[in-house]
Structure formats: C-alpha cells, structure tokens
Structure 1
Amino acid sequence: GEPIQLLILFSEAFSSKEEMFYSSAFKRINNLAMTKNIQTSTVLITKEEENKLAIPFANIKADAIIIMGQFSKEYVKEVIKVQPKTVLFDFFYYDLELDSVVTDNYFAGYIATQYLIDLGYQNIGFVGTLNTTMSIDDRYMGYSRALVQANYPIDKKYIVNDRNENNQIIDFKLPSKLPEAFVCNNDYTAYLLIQKLSKASYRVPEDISIISFDDVIYSQISSPPITTIKVSRNDMANETIKLILRRIKNPSIWHRRVTMSVRIIERESVKKEN
C-alpha cells in the first residue's frame, strides 16, 4: 500500500557533533523505516523556533511524528496539536500521555557508580549540569542513590557543570581537590575531562578513574579508552518504529513508555585495584 509518511523532528541543541548518540540513533531509525514501507522527512528545530513555539512543518504531510532530543513540554504540546500520533525519543513528560522510548538512565547512573563502589572507591564526583536534560538528572539521581546506599557522602565540591542551560558544552573547571573517580554524564564530556586532567598532569586511570555513558566514538578514540554504559541504539530504533506502527493502527490505544536496559562496556579508564 501507500508508504507511511513519518516526520522526524530533531532538536538543534542535540544535533551538534558532541551529541553522537542522537545522530547514530537517527540513522538507525531511518534505515529501519526504509524496510517497513515508511518514508521519512526530517526537520531541524532551532532553539529560537522552540522558544517561540514556531511550527515550521505544518504543511508537511505526516501520518506520525518522532521527536528526537528533549524539547520543552510547551513545544511538545504544540506538535501534538498538528499530529497527536507522536512518539518521544529518549525523553518523556509525566503529564503528557504520549508513547516514548527511553534509556533507563536512573539505573544507568546507579550501576556506573555502584561499579566504582564495588572496586573500593568512596570519593566519587559527577560531571554534568543538572536541570539541562532529563537524562543527566536521572543519571545523577542514580549516582546519588548508590552513594547514599553505601553511606558515602555526596560532596558538592565534586559536582562539575559541563554545559550551559542551552545544552552547549562549556569550558568547565576541575575542582581544586579531586575525588578518586568521576561519573561523567556522557562520553564526550569524559573525553574532554581526560584531556583536562592530562594537561594538569593527572593520569587516567592511575591517579583518577573515569566512567561515562553512551558508548559513542569518543569512548573509543579517547586515550585511555573509556569504560562506559551502553544502551542499544538498534533496539531503541526498533521499539520506536514499533510504537509508531502500533499508534497508527490504533490511534486511541493506551500510551506506552518503553524503557531500554543498559550494560557496562569495560575499557581502560577505571583502575581495578583501588
């Protein structure tokens, strides 16, 4: 039959070279769509358009929409006026009844931190700016839970901001006194942190250990390569397309949030005998 017209809205804030998680997930969704008789078109939404609640895609025929990269709740509400058959990729809002596919970021933050605790680390910092993205907040909550459970302090001087409120990476500063290890909110930030530490004559992992999230290229090209928490982007793409097809077939069905599990990819940025 007629191909399904699928519109993918991509947030400019998540399209930079640092955010490889989204670009690689986007490729997988596109490739999968081709095999399912789905035609995709993509619109990049700027921060300005988002803030003004502008809808530059109102004239594009879309049987369904995928929103990639976290948009404000107000903006999502405008999108679903245009097309209620909308799936959110990697974020959700508690009070919007929409299908979504998300990483289990809370658990990801927890197992990354627990992995360090199990190796004997006690002073563990966190790199990531809170209240910029849901995934950073959730990873921080998981990090906090592991420390609380172990009766270790969450020391504010070991919490490092890595981006501004527009999700742009800033030139962050190392704390004057360093922890034994850092949990970094993503591989790119970990990659930058390792470079900063090495300029300040600290060796990873001999002097300080680093663990991060996403398993994108930065975790492999880093020196040393970074131990990271991975979610399968192929599986996320599969689930997203499944939700789209389910929603088109039955527009009034109860919404579904699919949470993807994660696993640790061990590389060389964590010292084992602490």
Structure 2
Amino acid sequence: MRNIVTMKDIADELNVTVMSVSKALSGKEGISDELRSRIIKKAEELGYKKNLLPNEDENTRNIGILVAERRINSNAIYMSLQQPLIASLTQLNYYGITEIISDETEHLQLMPKILKEKKVVAFIILGQMEKEYISLLKTAGIPYLYLAHLYDDETNGIVDDNLYAGCTLGNYLIDKGFRSIGFVGNIHFSQIALDRYLGVIKAGLTRGLKPADTPCINDVNEFGEEIPLILPNKLPECFICNECRTAYKLIHQLEGLEYRVPGDISVAAFDDGIFADVGIPRLTTYSVNCENMARLAAESIIIKLENPKYHIGRKIVHGSVIIRDSVNRKKI
C-alpha cells in the first residue's frame, strides 16, 4: 500500500516550513514565485494528493479549540496562545472555533457542543483539564492534540518546557546574588505552576540552596479564582511569580508596605504578558514563545488529518529571559 504523502513530507524534502507548503499549494500569497514553483514541482514528484475527508461539507475545515474557563481566568498564557493559533490555522486554510468549557460542563462530563454537533474535524485542548473529562473528549473519535499542557503519560502535544523555564529564571536570580526566592503561584491548582516551581527548586539545589529557601505563596484558590497574597513575616530577597498579572499585584502590595522594587526586593515573572510593560518598574520575565507553539500546533493537527497514522509526539518549545527593570543585583 502506498504511503500517504503529507505537506510535512514536502516541507522536509525542501527544508521549508509546512506553512510555506500550504501557501504554495493553495495559491496564497506570502512566498516567492520561485519557492512556490519548487514546492509544486516537489509535490508532483512525490505524488501528493490533497486528503479529501468523507462527507465533505462546510464543517470540513473547522478545527475546535477547547479551553477550560477557570484556566483562562487564572493564567493569561492561554489567551496569548489562542490568537496566534487561530491565525496559524487560517494560513493553513482551516478555521479555529473556540469553545470555552465551563466548570459545570467539565464537572458534569458534558460533551462540548462543537464535538456533539460534529462542527469540527479535529480539536486542540488548550491548557489543563481534568483527566476524566479528557477521556470523554477522546470518545469523539477525531484527531486531537494538547497545547500548553500535557500529562506525563501522554505524548501528543506541544508544550513549553516549564521545568527548564523555572530553572532558567531561578538561576538568573541566583546569579544576581539572591539566596532566598519566593514563588507566587498555586502549585496544586496548575501543573504549569508546579513545574515552574520545581524548576526554581532545582536551580536552588544545584547552587547550594535548600527548598525551605523557596517559600510558595498561592495566587489563586482551588477554583482558579484570584485571592489576596498572604506574604510571610520574613520576606525572601526576591520573588518569581507564575504570571505577570500576579507580579504587578505583588509589586503594588510590596510598595504599600514601603518596600522598593527593585531597590529592596526584586520581582520576576513568567509569560511576558501585557502587565510586563504597564507598570513601573517594567517586569523582567521568562517569555514563552507563543507564536512558535501555536504554529507547531496548527501544523501538527493538519498533518494528523492528512495522515491518521502520524504520531505527533511531545514537542517542546523553549522561551527566553527578557531583562527589564524589576531585578537588581543583590546589595552586599
């Protein structure tokens, strides 16, 4: 039986992106005429045929994006991923349809409307959901992948390396001379927060710090609702926050206690969201590469549609530290 030729096969042959192949084969702008000709020629050589789905109708090019309501409220990264994900799907001639899964829908194990009514041919699970609910989603029997969260026993998605991110930001602060680092984030509510916290702990252990030197402060409750920050009596020398909004709130709280940031206490955060630049000082952050994560997710789910045997695997995207004004070197 002939192997199915996918857009990824063409892209690999020419060392170009799947996005470029899609633009060439669909007649879209955004690539040169020379590259378009090379792609079309290679597609003909490999015997590429567009995968026509059975019962093709107006829903054939719809991809579902499912995100839990409480995760949107507790972490801005999900919204930062949604827009580039929809844009990437559009460039591949597909359309992203988002359905926000309420707590009630998840708790009562109700199938999302876009799956129940067969409005999509595949779906992307954006962020963390309960494993029991994910088991229900799988019964839809169509291709899916995870984005921004992946359980340890799953290998079907695109994630940021949050352990590495925590370790990177932790080492950055230790290099600045700090020996006690407070972590602000609910590690029992969010797997992302837990992995980042463990990364900070790892950085400390390799540099002679003890886990007790990294106290953990909750920013949301078990339902993802924002709660007041309860600071320890003895403040650490610096803080790392699970997201920029929390860091912005923390800085205002510290200033109310007459601490200067970064003069007295330094603060850093993850995700490089809109709150990174709105306050004074501007936040030093670990920036997640949302554009690349979204592009890989869009390309991977389309490849899976073209070839159902394609195994997406666990694709890890690294980010980087963005240095701004909220971290100083420790005073000796």
Q: Please tell me the residue identity of whatever aligns with 1:207.
A: D
The CA deviation at 1:197 is 0.4
| Aligned position for 1:132 | 189
260, 266, 283: which one aligns with 1:203? 260
- Distance, in Å, in 1 between the alignment partners of 2:141 and 2:147 is 16
116, 141, 146: which one aligns with 1:83? 141
303, 309, 313: which one aligns with 1:246? 303
SS in 2 for 1:148: helix
Contact residue 72 and residue 78 of structure 2 kept, 8 A: yes
Give the CA RMSD over aligned residues.
1.6
Structure 2 gaps, min length 5: 1-51
Contact residue 64 and residue 83 of structure 1 kept, 8 A: no
Percent of residue pairs identical? 32
| Aligned position for 2:275 | 218
Contact residue 178 and residue 330 of structure 2 kept, 8 A: no
Q: Deviations over 1:63-111 (max 9, x none)?
A: 11011121111111111111341111101122245x2110110000001
| Aligned position for 2:220 | 163
- Distance, in Å, in 1 between the alignment partners of 2:198 and 2:215 is 15
SS in 1 for 2:303: helix
The CA deviation at 1:175 is 1.1
More strand per residue: 1 or 2?
Answer: 1
TM-score in terms of structure 2 length: 0.78
91, 95, 98: which one aligns with 1:39? 95
The alpha-carbon distance between structure 1 residues 34 and 254, as it changes in their structure 2 partners (threshold 3 A), is: closer
The CA deviation at 1:169 is 1.6
Structure 1 gaps, min length 5: none
Residues 1-274 of structure 1 aligned to structure 2 (within 5 Å): 4-16=61-73, 19-57=75-113, 58-97=116-155, 99-155=156-212, 158-274=215-331
The CA deviation at 1:167 is 1.7
Q: Deviations over 1:112-149 (max 9, x none)?
A: 01001111110111111112111101001100001111
The CA deviation at 1:34 is 1.5
- Distance, in Å, in 2 between the alignment partners of 1:272 and 1:136 is 25
The alpha-carbon distance between structure 1 residues 83 and 7, as it changes in their structure 2 partners (threshold 3 A), is: farther
* Equivalent residue pairs, number: 272
SS in 2 for 1:33: helix
The alpha-carbon distance between structure 1 residues 273 and 171, as it changes in their structure 2 partners (threshold 3 A), is: closer
TM-score in terms of structure 1 length: 0.94
Contact residue 10 and residue 67 of structure 1 kept, 8 A: yes
